[in-house]
Amino acid sequence: MRFNQIYALSLRHIYLISGSLPRIIDLIYWPSVQIFLWGFISKFFTLNSEYYSNTVGIILTAAILYDFLFRASISYNMMFLEEIWSRNFTNLFIAPIKISEIITSLTLTAVFRTLIGLVPAAILAIPLFGVSVFELGLPLFFLLLGLYIFGVTLGLLVTAGLLRYGPSFENIAWASLFFLAPLGCIYYPVEILPESLQAIAKVLPLVHIFEEMRNILLNNSVNWFEIVKSILISLVYFVGGITIFYMAYFGAKEKGTLINMGE
CA distance 185 to 191: 9
Burial of 258 (0-12, 13-18, 19+ CB in 10 A): middle
> Which 206-245 positions form the footprint of other proteins (CB under 8 A)?
none
- For residues 33 and 87, which CB has a smaller minimum distance to other proteins in the complex? 87
> Least CB distance from residue 242 to other proteins, whole Å?
17
> Least CB distance from residue 4 to other proteins, whole Å?
6
Are 183 and 201 within 8 A, CB to CB?
Answer: yes
- For residues 4 and 171, which CB has a smaller minimum distance to other proteins in the complex? 4
CA distance 239 to 244: 9
Are 121 and 35 within 8 A, CB to CB?
Answer: yes
Under the binding rule (CB under 8 A), the answer on residue 8 touching other proteins is: yes
Closest to 179 measured CA to CA, from 163, 200, 149, 164 = 200
Helix ranges (H only) for 166-223 are 170-184, 195-201, 205-219
DSSP letter for 130, please: S
Region binding other proteins by CB under 8 A among candidate stretches 28-36, 64-72, 167-175, 251-259 = 251-259
Region binding other proteins by CB under 8 A among candidate stretches 79-87, 188-196, 211-219, 226-234 = 79-87
3-class DSSP state for residue 20?
coil
- For residues 18 and 53, which CB has a smaller minimum distance to other proteins in the complex? 18
> Least CB distance from residue 109 to other proteins, whole Å?
12
> Least CB distance from residue 259 to other proteins, whole Å?
4
Burial of 122 (0-12, 13-18, 19+ CB in 10 A): buried
Region binding other proteins by CB under 8 A among candidate stretches 69-77, 81-89, 112-120, 222-230 = 81-89
> Which 91-130 positions form the footprint of other proteins (CB under 8 A)?
91, 93-98
> Least CB distance from residue 257 to other proteins, whole Å?
9
Under the binding rule (CB under 8 A), the answer on residue 4 touching other proteins is: yes
DSSP letter for 192, please: G
Under the binding rule (CB under 8 A), the answer on residue 135 touching other proteins is: no
Are 61 and 133 within 8 A, CB to CB?
Answer: yes
CA distance 41 to 93: 46
Judged by CB under 8 A, the residue of 26, 28, 36, 90 near other proteins is 90
- For residues 4 and 220, which CB has a smaller minimum distance to other proteins in the complex? 4
- With b for 16 or more beta-carbon neighbours within 10 A and e for fewer, the 181-190 pattern comes to eebbbbbeeb
Region binding other proteins by CB under 8 A among candidate stretches 33-41, 45-53, 239-247, 252-260 = 252-260
Residues that bind other proteins (CB under 8 A): 2, 4-5, 7-9, 11-12, 15-16, 19-20, 82-83, 86-91, 93-98, 250, 253-256, 258-259, 263
